[in-house]
Every structure is written in C-alpha cells, then in structure tokens.
Amino acid sequence: MFSDKDISHFASLETPFYHYDLALLQKTLATCATAAKLYNFHVHYAMKANFNQRVLDCIEAIGFGADCVSVGEVNRAIEVGFDKGKVVFAGVGKSDKEINGALDQDIFCFNVESIQELEVIDELAGAKGKKASVAIRINPNVDAHTHHNITTGLDENKFGINSWDLPACAETLRKCANLEFLGIHFHIGSQITNLDVYKNLCVRVNEFATWFEERGFSVKVLNVGGGLGIDYHNPDQQIPDFDAYFKIFNEFLNVRPNQEVHFELGRALVGQCSSLISKVLYVKNGKKKNFIILDAGMTELMRPALYQAYHKIENLSKSGLPAVKYDVVGPICESTDCFGKEVELPESHRGDLIALRSTGAYGEVMASKYNLRDEIRSAYSEAVS
C-alpha cells in the first residue's frame, strides 16, 4: 500500500526503479528473529534472493547468518559484516577457485552435494593445511508442491546426494582426513505455501539423522533449508507466519541435546519489501487485446518470463475509473516480455505510474543488460530507528 506522499515522490524519479520499504523489511526480520529465538533456531539469509547493499545491512544488523551459493556471495557477506562463523557455502557446482576462496575465508561450513565434491574439498583443504567443515546435502525425495522450475528435493532434480549413495558417502567421509562432518542439509524447493510439506521433510530428516548416528557419526547440525513462500496475490498481507512455520519443526523434528537446527530463508524475509516502479510509455487498444507498454521489461524483472510468476500490478496514478483488461508488457524485443495478461486496471494512459508488487526476492538480482538496457536503479523508504 502506497501513500500519496510515496506516489508524489515516485513521480519525481526516473523510472524504472526498485523501491525498498526498509521499515517493512526491519519489521519482517524482527518478527522472524523473535519466532526463531523461541526454539533457539539459527537463521541464515539466502543471499541469492537479494544482495542490495541496504537490504544486506539490515539483515546483518539483526544477527542472521548468510547462506551463499557462490564465492562472490561469500565475499559480499563478509564484506558487509556477516560473521564468518555463520557463513555457509552451498551449491551443486562449486569450482576449485570458489572452494579455495571460501577456505581462505574460514567459513562455518560447506554444504556438499556430491561424493566427488567431498574429495575435491578434502584435497584443496589439505593443500592449505586446513580442515574444512562439511554438511551433506541429501536429496530427500519430498515433493514441495510448488512450481516445477523451483522444486529441488525430488530424485529427478540435480541437487544433493541421493539416498542410495549415502553408504559410499559415509565411506568417503571416513577416508577424508581434511574434512570435519558437521551434519546434514536439505532444501526441497522455493515458494512453499503448504506448510504440511515441512512435516514430511521432518520425517525424512529424522530418518537420515538416525542413519548417520547408527554409523558412528555425530550429527551436530540439522539444516532444513528454507523455501517458505509469500502471498503474491495479497502483498499488503506482508509478513509470513513465521510462528506457524517454526512451530512445525519444533513439533516434528527430533532434536538431540546440543544439536543445532539451521534454516536458510530468503524470499520470506525480503519478498514483500520491494516493488518495481515503472511508467506507461504507450497504450495500444485493439479489437482483441489492449496493451500497456511499460518502460520496465524482462531485463528488470525476469520472473514472469522465466517461469510465469505472478506479481500484482497496480496503477498508482488512477483510481475509481472503470476497469479495462490489459496485457501489461515491456519494451524488450521478445514476445515473452510480458508481466501479465488480461490484467484489470483503471483506464490507463501514457505517463501513469505502475507498481509491480512483491519484487524483493529474485527481482533486482536477476536484472540484466540485455538489449544494452540501462542498469536498474533503487530508491528507499527509510527504516524506522
């Protein structure tokens, strides 16, 4: 929800740009931190969701760790001030250069996704005279009931070590003198709104933790990943139900004494704190279709073109007028450059301000310079002190 003051300010800025509500971000972070503290759960922020500097400053200040999927993210997290002892490096394809870089930073843990990767980390750590802490990412074959392109926990996905490879994994761990086994890691997908899915995940985590313990391994960390979704259709209902989310893990996860439970949340923390603000360049009315052509395109917000993601679209300049159905599109020379079809909006005109809501996660970070577009800008509403 935008105030008249917000809209007046937007009109003075060059579009398109990402607007960040830092007060909402702080409130979301505080709500999550309070809910997690109730069970002594550890939260790591999934850097891939958004690495805007002001956003990272807020997240670091709340005391969360960082979940990284490249050495670039590892380095950025540490530059911002995240505690190295709370930085985790995940990813199915870590290069030798990236592994060496993370070893040099003395991070908390590598989340390892293949037996070959275990051997590579062991060799590289040995060459540096170091011992690398590792958690084994296991593919639990749990259906997240989300979009196919953002499901990561099924046997058909590329992520993690499959259950039938665990005996070989355990044998490799015993042979690798330069590795310290910390625990097990899972991540079944993104934009999960059916919390019952996490009950199924807990069952599998319990089974795999027992499997390792029965073979003499001490499982110090249970990392259950993240994936908690947001309500894209109702962006003003802005903060996810972190209480219900963490309560499920408290009830269904078998946590041993001195065992830590770690989470990797991204979208749920930052998704609702940003909107992409654009202007109408042209309106094309036809016999079958009416088009609104914006100055923002798939280069600024890739999600709709990439996997038909929904973002609520609002005309900030008009209200109370009869609704017209428009296909809302961008200026890029691709037919997939479309934000929504048959979107009901007040009758719109050139120069109207348009907001694409809920763009805080996987919005700005996925922007590109395709068509040699200008770099996307950012604007902020100041955080409450």
Q: 202-255, pLDDT tens digit by residue? A: 999 999 999 999 999 999 999 999 999 999 999 997 899 999 999 999 999 999
| Alpha helix segments (H runs only) across 215-280 | 242-252, 267-270
Average pLDDT over residues 354-378: 97
Closest CA to 182 of 86, 109, 113: 109
Residue 149 has what pLDDT?
44
Cα(105)–Cα(334) distance, integer angstroms = 42
CA distances to 38, 247, 385 from 31, rounded to whole Å, are 11, 14, 16
Give 126 or 159, the one with higher predicted confidence: 126
Residue 146 has what pLDDT?
46
Give CATH for domain 22-271.
3.20.20.10
Closest CA to 135 of 32, 60, 212: 212
Q: Quote the CATH superfamily of domain 4-16+272-381.
A: Lyase, Ornithine Decarboxylase; Chain A, domain 1 (2.40.37.10)
Bin 370: left if φ > 0, else alpha if -120 < ψ < 50, else beta: beta
Residue 143 has what pLDDT?
55
| Mean pLDDT rounded to a whole number for the chain | 93
Instruction: Name the segment(s) of the chain with CATH classification 3.20.20.10.
Output: 22-271
pLDDT, tens digit, 9 for 90 and up, residues 182-216: 999 999 888 999 999 999 999 999 999 999 999 99
pTM of the entire predicted model? 0.93
Closest CA to 269 of 88, 17, 24, 18: 24
pLDDT, tens digit, 9 for 90 and up, residues 53-97: 999 999 999 999 999 999 999 999 999 999 999 999 999 999 999
